[in-house]
Amino acid sequence: MKIAIVGLGVIGGSFALALKEKGYTEVFGIDTDEQTITQAKKMKIICDGSADGKEFLSKMDLILLSIYPKLVSSFLNQNKKQFKQGTIITDTTGVKGAILNDVLEALPEGVDFIFGHPMAGREKKGLSYASSTVFQGANYILTPTIYNKAENLDQIERLMLEIGFGRVKRITPSFHDEMISFTSQLPHAMAVALINSDKEGRDTGSFIGDSYRDLTRIANMNDALWAELFLENKENLLHSIENFQKELNVIKFALIKEDTESLKQCFRKSTARREKLDQQ
């Protein structure tokens, strides 16, 4: 199978590394940064690459788009004459509803676009931070449309399991965006708010333990990407933020009232939910 990865950053590069380890030798790279293409060739994770892929796109069986959400439909429009009949295209974007219609409108006949989302990543950006193990045991989400062929969905699912994902779940694009606002975007918003709420200039680093370190790890963010993700899914994210604020206020008012029992109830509830999560 001939595979092209568009965008050889930390996620695209990780896919290339994972595919290499599974014996895929016909993997091509597309990236606007010439140095990234050169680096990928030196790492031997692509057999060829260029800024636009014009010389090999027409031969691809699978095209994996690891680019910002707003760039997906632009890539399709610019290259729709290049895709051969039967090509499967999939993405890695963290929002679906905002791009769904534009993608389907840009898609040429005979090409199947399967919306996907690897629930794994790294705080740093760029090929240098790619890892072949980042997907090991992680969740992968597919958001099928009525236009997808069952055999193509199955093929993407098999591939993701082959390169290390622990579970593939199929849900609607709207439910994806609702859940991702809570499980991904809200934690990032919390990490940003937490680290930015610190008093400027004090020696915080001498007082942190695992809890602060773990909670703020994802505050080291790709600002351009996450600003786009937040805004493209803002209604769901606002709802998640409001629900979080309500629960934080429960703790706040329990402190004001010195209500020990309310605090204990909060802690017992969170403990039970966290233990249940580990069993899923």
Question: Where residue 142 sits, what CATH number does that domain have?
Answer: 3.40.50.720
Asked if residue 114 and residue 238 are part of one domain, the reply reads no
Question: Residue 229: enclosing H or E segment and its boundaries?
Answer: helix 223-232
Asked if residue 110 and residue 164 are part of one domain, the reply reads yes
Asked if residue 201 and residue 167 are part of one domain, the reply reads no
pLDDT at site 132: 85
**Mapping DSSP to helix (H, G, I), strand (E, B) and coil, where does residue 92 land?**
coil
- Picking from 123, 139, 171, the residue at the C-terminal end of a domain is 171
Asked if residue 130 and residue 11 are part of one domain, the reply reads yes
Q: Enter the pTM of the model.
A: 0.91
- Picking from 126, 147, 171, the residue at the C-terminal end of a domain is 171
Asked if residue 166 and residue 28 are part of one domain, the reply reads yes
Asked if residue 134 and residue 202 are part of one domain, the reply reads no
Nearest-angstrom CA–CA distance, 79 and 185:
31
Nearest-angstrom CA–CA distance, 29 and 237:
33
Digit-by-digit pLDDT tens for the chain (280 residues) are 999 999 999 999 999 999 999 999 999 999 999 999 999 999 999 999 999 999 999 999 999 999 999 999 999 999 999 999 999 999 999 999 999 999 999 999 999 999 999 998 766 788 988 898 999 999 999 999 999 999 999 999 999 999 999 999 999 999 999 999 999 999 999 999 999 999 998 999 999 999 999 999 999 988 999 999 999 999 999 999 999 999 999 999 999 999 999 999 999 999 999 999 888 7
Asked if residue 179 and residue 165 are part of one domain, the reply reads no
Nearest-angstrom CA–CA distance, 64 and 194:
35
**Mapping DSSP to helix (H, G, I), strand (E, B) and coil, where does residue 170 land?**
strand
Asked if residue 233 and residue 117 are part of one domain, the reply reads no
Nearest-angstrom CA–CA distance, 46 and 17:
9
Signed CA dihedral, 259, 263, 266, 268: sign only: negative
Signed CA dihedral, 265, 270, 272, 273: sign only: positive
- Exposure of 168 by Cβ count < 10 A (0-12 exposed, 13-18 middle, 19+ buried)? middle
Asked if residue 150 and residue 189 are part of one domain, the reply reads no
Residue 233: domain span = 175-278
For residue 185, which of 115, 90, 98 has the smallest C-alpha distance? 98
Signed CA dihedral, 166, 225, 216, 16: sign only: positive
Asked if residue 13 and residue 143 are part of one domain, the reply reads yes
Half-sphere exposure of 159 (CA within 13 A, CB side): 25
Asked if residue 152 and residue 77 are part of one domain, the reply reads yes
Asked if residue 60 and residue 34 are part of one domain, the reply reads yes
Per-residue buried b or exposed e for 195-229, using 16+ beta carbons within 10 Å of the residue's own CB: eeeeeeeeeeeeeeeeeeeeebebbeebeebbebb
Q: What is the CATH number of the domain that holds 220?
A: 1.10.3660.10
- 241: alpha, beta or left? (left if phi > 0; alpha if psi -120 to 50): alpha
Rg from Cα positions in the chain: 21
- Picking from 133, 149, 171, the residue at the C-terminal end of a domain is 171
| Number of domains into which the chain is organized | 2
Nearest-angstrom CA–CA distance, 38 and 55:
17
